Amino acid sequence: MIDPYLWLEDLDSPDALRWVSERNAETLASLADAEFARLRDAVREVLDSKERISFPAWGGDGFYYDFWRDADHPRGLWRRTTPEEFRCDEPDWDVLLDLDALNAAEGTNWTWGGATVLRPGYDRCLISLARGGSDAVVVREFDLVARAFVKDGFALPEAKSDVGWIDADHIFVATDFGDGSLTSSGYARIVKRWRRGTPLSEAETVFEGQHDDVLISASHDPAPGFERDFVVQRVEFFRTRYHLRRPDGELVRIEIPEDADFDVHREWMLIRLRTPWREFPAGALIVTDFDDFLAGGRDLTVLFQPDDRTSLSSYAWTRHHLLLATLADVKTRIEILTPGSPSWTREPLDAAGEFDNTWIVDTEPESSDAYLIASEGFLQPASLRLGASTVLKREPAFFDTDGLAVRQHFAVSADGTRVPYFVVGGDGCGPALLTGYGGFEISRTPDYGGVRGRGWLARGGAYILANIRGGGEYGPAWHQAALRENRTKAYEDFAAVARDLVDRGITTPAQLGITGGSNGGLLMGVMLTRYPELFGAVVAAVPLLDMRRYTKLLAGKSWIAEYGDPDVPGDWEFLRGYSPYQNVRPDRPYPPVLFLTSTRDDRVHPGHARKMLALLRENGHEAWLYENVEGGHGAAADNEQAATREALCLEFLWRKLHQRG
């Protein structure tokens, strides 16, 4: 079948851009009145607030580093300060790079892509700058003493690059080296060792992957006495081959399962399992001595073993300890583990509120046992702590929580699986906003949303977060239960939550709005076309929607392990059963839908949203589009654009649900 809207995949063609401009004008004309302006301003006030708190990163040089945006600095400041100064109500920040000033000087629209600081010198860094928020970046060497880019320093043109310091005169670089140097997913297939003062074309090849790999990268561990180089071959999204690179260039394969995660800290090696291995279950975290393991030893110790309710969320090393964050029915617990003989010891940290989420912000594993952790809840603004008890910062409240409460319920999916979800709001039946993600083993946990609070909860709406399969809330098994041919399990879970909300009297189908982005945007598309009777309005942000062509667009091929390959007949059989673009019907009523995307999204192609809107309208359905020119996969490059995006989402849902309710 010929796709009549294939021309909308032509990203910057005059016809496509004219069409997008017309759709944007229609959407703004339908929503952008005085009430919308008030909401957008209220959202902007939250995003620009100078009372927000920073969640800094340790540089290892005694400084906290932070990237900050507000009304005075819309593109942002990269800055640092001392831990002592950070404790002050108004820290004296040392500004390293002002992106607004840089853009004015260079006449461009850079957004921040991150920085890699040289260790142990801490006088140079590699800064990544993205044009309009894209995943592709330019890389430039920056002098942290002179506060200037290094003339004739390391520099890379725009590409999806990965770079890292080896020493002051060498870096690892994986980038677009020309014809044949990229994988079929559009990432680097080759990694090289580049010496200062030499052309990139003369850099020494470290490793070449296969065309159908996802990406290749390399890194250097500068820990004194434990300096090591590693090469990573990402075969599929969740299959990776790790290698130690010896000083003579020899690569030694680290013999762990390809679907396991791997981490080394000094003498210790951690292995995080996704499937059973030896006597250890999926989801376990194992520790061993790295050198002994390479020599053939298998003295393995379990540090975390999951059960039906509990999963490992994250971990981080300090100099002498290991912090573990776990989830039990999506509720956080933090423990500090210490190596010892004959066994490791563990000490729990004080728990936050019942429905608050605590996470590890950063550690300084080379030289300190200090750590930064933060906690927040749906109704509890974030607080940042140094260690277990020293509160460094508290975020202000951005909305009134009187009369609001948080509850956790469990819906029963089609196959009998219990699916947890959180409800935030007051008692009674009314407008409700349901969201979820359900993919790539990503867990959705409670968070404080000042924008959501002002734009939805304060207006009387309820907010619901569904922890459906495909995510990581219950470990690898929860993710794997909704992979490939089982993808519909995630959709059945979300539909079950929607029905449970109605059964409990929290809302009605006509008053239930839903929103999600990226993989969550695919979720929204499936809900629209497969379960339209359950919802009153839908917002899908940067969505995947055409599963017939997703592997042909940008980074799509890297997600085959998650969804399946539409070019394989057996895979297309299950993909076409739910692919939103292939399941639009003229004779089935759909709730109104708004698509939010970005022209500069180089991860999920905006053609998905463009084509879906055109097809829906052709079949007589109400559909709207707003495509921001900038923003990349986040669909916004600064707070002004983010405020417009958030206000469009919330105002669209609020109006449509009240019209239908």
Distance of alpha carbon 223 from alpha carbon 242, whole angstroms: 19
Q: What are the helix (H) ranges across 531-638? A: 560-563, 569-575, 607-618
- For the purposes of burial, counting CB atoms within 10 Å of the CB of 657, is it exposed (0-12), middle (13-18) or buried (19 or more)? buried
**Which listed residue (243, 605, 621, 633) is catalytic?**
633
Half-sphere exposure of 581 (CA within 13 A, CB side): 24
Q: Rounded to whole angstroms, how far apart are CA atoms 558 and 563? A: 10
Which residues, in sequence order, are bridge partners of residue 159? 137
- Written as six digits, the tokens of 2 are 């010929």
Cβ burial, residue 619 (10 Å; 0-12/13-18/19+): middle
Nearest Cα to 329, choosing from 492, 424, 446?
A: 446
Short-list 551, 529, 527, 538, CA closest to 604: 551
Distance CA 381, CA 370 (A): 23
Backbone angles phi, psi at 285, to 5 degrees: -115, 125
Question: What are the residues whose beta carbons fall under 8 Å from the beta carbon of 424, sequence distance 6 or more?
Answer: 378, 379, 404, 405, 406, 457, 462, 463, 464, 465
- Helix axis angle, 488-503 to 519-530, nearest 10°: 70
Pairing of strands 512-517, 432-435: parallel
Q: Spell out the residues 6+ positions from residue 656 whose beta carbon is closer than 8 angstroms to its own.
A: 513, 536, 537, 591, 592
Nearest Cα residue to 193 out of 210, 212, 211, 207 = 207
Residue 629 burial class via C-beta count within 10 angstroms: exposed 0-12, middle 13-18, buried 19 and up: middle
Give CA–CA dist 233/183, Å, rounded: 11
Distances from the Cα of 505 to the Cα of 410, 418, 430, 432, 462, angstroms: 15, 19, 9, 11, 12
* 621: annotated active-site residue: no
Task: Report the C-alpha gap between 404 and 422 in whole angstroms.
Answer: 13
| 128, 375, 518, 579: the active-site residue | 518
Enter the tokens of residue 304. Answer: 């975390």
Closest CA to 484 of 544, 430, 562: 562
**In the annotation, is 321 catalytic?**
no
Helices (H) and strands (E) in the chain, counts: 13, 37
Contacts 24+ apart (CB under 8 A), 32-39: 35/651, 36/647, 36/648, 36/651, 39/454, 39/455, 39/647, 39/650, 39/651
Q: What share of the chain is helix, strand, coil (3-state, %, to 5)?
A: 25, 35, 40
Strand partners for 217: 232
Q: Which long-range contacts (CB under 8 A, 24 or more apart) does 250-254 make?
A: 251/207, 252/294, 254/293, 254/294
Q: Are 459 and 548 a contacting pair, CB within 8 Å? A: no
Burial label for 308, CB within 10 Å (0-12, 13-18, 19+), is exposed
Catalytic residues: 518, 633
